[in-house]
Amino acid sequence: MSHRVTLIPGDGVGPEIATAARRVVDAAGVAIEWEMAEAGAEVFKRGDSSGVPTETVESIERTKVALKGPLETPVGFGEKSANVTLRKIFETYANIRPARQIPGVPTRYAGEGIDFIVVRENIEDLYAGVEYLPTKDVAVALKIISRKGSEKIIRYAFELARREGRSKVTVATKANILKLTEGMFKRVGEEIAAEYPDIRHEHLIIDNVAHQMVKNPAQFDVIVTTNLAGDIISDLASGLVGGLGFAASGNYGDEVAIFEAVHGSAPKYAGKNTINPTALILSSVMMLRHLGEEAAASLVENAVYVTLEDGKAVTVDVARQAGDVEESASTTGYTDAIIGNLGRKPAMDYRRARVERSGPPPTTPSRWSYGPNVGETRSTLVGVDIYLESDETPEALGLGLSALAEPEFQLQLISSRGTVVWPAGSANADPVGWWRSRFMPLDDATDIDDQAITRLLDRIALAYRWVSVEKLRRYGTEEGFTRAQGQ
């Protein structure tokens, strides 16, 4: 059977590792028609602010599968990440990153049986990229967690665990601090876990997960978590098994899958023929399984393991970890060795799971019954937070805003960076000129609606520069907003 796959070489060392992965896949005998495409640095330079040209999008829409080298992303400035853009364009909501002990790669945890998967939500959270500068000295990012997005990724994790014969799913959140966003992810995890009685479920705070991964990583089976946390702990996971040079990943959506190495473009190594291509080669193994080429996937994976187990032709990073920098192979030499080892099997079976698959779950995602984002309970508007910019003291702000609140509202509090500073706040707070002022009804008989909020904003605008507004809602008896520290 022939397959069409979009191949994006990428930036820096990307073309070298993409060539290596393609050579190995082709040598495994899989009939693939490769469609060459581009994204990343060169696209940005041509003035395309997305980093992903139309031709590349059209190619992936045709093939439904892409193998991608690392793309360069400016840090702290410039355009949005082309990597993230690709994931969002095709709604590849599930980022799957296996962490397994690898033969011939010296680590602190060799022999402990590490074999788990980090399932990272790939669309929402802070990676939604919604940021603002409400003042020139304050930056704000919106953390977006939806019930639908949480259910999709958590159900994916349980389906993946069931298909691979794994016994436990750990839902990892920061729900002890972020009660509504991370709390929603936790609650959805508990609801979905009840549908999978054959799989053990646990919830851990994400910092404890990081602690436990270092202390006893073999305890984990499948970890599902939010976008930013998943990005961080999956890199930690790769460090347990040898580093980013061995970190494969797949991005799965309902229609499209994109496979990539976790590591970056490493421009200082570009063109030197020394980079380790294992991560992208193992990503291509995930791709082959997604395409239904199980035999070829196992053939390539075993050849990689045999090559590393033999230790006769390894790249400089592996040789350095083994303490023998003199005996290292080039990228092409290492790739040649893997191709030469096709058909061999490693001495040990390094897979703990009974079934080795990392593709989409057997249940078609589009058939899942996603719950509503806010539930069926009707909401009640109970107040408003108005954010404003001012150099006044909390006391002066409190006096001025209180006078402007009437006749519909009363000023309940003023906070700075989440901490109450008025009416009786922390004496140690260090304000930054960006304030949240919370207004509640003057009395229970006062009706709060959009018109009342507009009138309040008009009055405030006469004396202050307001920058944003958040309505405060109650769902049944549950408050749809958080309290400030010290309230």
Tokens of 220: 């984990």
pLDDT at 50: 84
Residue 347 or 277, more confident? 277
> What's the whole-number mean pLDDT along residues 51-71?
95
Q: Are residues 317 and 298 in the same domain?
A: yes
Q: Are residues 108 and 237 in the same domain?
A: yes
> What's the whole-number mean pLDDT along residues 373-402?
87
Task: Evaluate whether residue 486 is within a structural domain.
Answer: no
Q: Is the pLDDT of residue 179 over 50?
A: yes
Q: Are residues 366 and 448 in the same domain?
A: no
Domain interval for residue 439: 379-479
CATH number of the domain that 36 lies in?
3.40.718.10
Q: Single out the residue in 298, 323, 345 at which a domain terminates.
A: 345
User: Which residues share a beta bridge with 173?
Assistant: 205
* Rg, Å, the chain Cα set: 26
Confidence band for 114, pLDDT divided at 50, 70 and 90: very high
Q: Are residues 337 and 370 in the same domain?
A: no
pLDDT at 356: 44
pTM, entire model: 0.89
Per-residue three-class SS string for 3-70:
EEEEEECCCCCHHHHHHHHHHHHHHCCCEEEEEECCCCHHHHHCCCCCCCCHHHHHHHHHHCEEEECC
Q: Single out the residue in 345, 362, 394 at which a domain terminates.
A: 345
- Span between the terminal Cα atoms of the chain, in Å: 64
CA angle at residue 365 from 475 to 360, to 5 degrees?
A: 130
Q: Are residues 361 and 267 in the same domain?
A: no
Task: Evaluate whether residue 484 is within a structural domain.
Answer: no
> What's the whole-number mean pLDDT along residues 374-394?
86
pLDDT at 370: 55
User: Residues of the chain with pLDDT > 70: what percent?
Assistant: 91
Q: Are residues 383 and 436 in the same domain?
A: yes
> What's the whole-number mean pLDDT along residues 170-177?
97
pLDDT at 318: 77
Q: Are residues 117 and 7 in the same domain?
A: no
> Per residue in 445-457, pLDDT tens?
667 899 999 999 9
Q: Are residues 368 and 235 in the same domain?
A: yes
Confidence band for 84, pLDDT divided at 50, 70 and 90: confident
Average pLDDT, the chain: 89
Q: Are residues 422 and 449 in the same domain?
A: yes
| Number of domains observed in the structure of the chain | 3
CATH number of the domain that 412 lies in?
3.30.70.1570
Confidence band for 75, pLDDT divided at 50, 70 and 90: low
Helix, strand, coil proportions of the chain in percent (round to 5)? 35, 25, 40
User: Residues of the chain with pLDDT > 90: what percent?
Assistant: 69
The dihedral formed by the CA atoms of 225, 231, 237 and 239, expressed in degrees to the nearest 10: -170
Q: Are residues 305 and 403 in the same domain?
A: no
Q: Are residues 117 and 217 in the same domain?
A: yes
Task: Evaluate whether residue 440 is within a structural domain.
Answer: yes
> What's the whole-number mean pLDDT along residues 183-212?
97
Q: Is the pLDDT of residue 236 over 50?
A: yes
The dihedral formed by the CA atoms of 231, 233, 239 and 241, expressed in degrees to the nearest 10: -110
Q: Are residues 225 and 327 in the same domain?
A: no
pLDDT at 362: 44
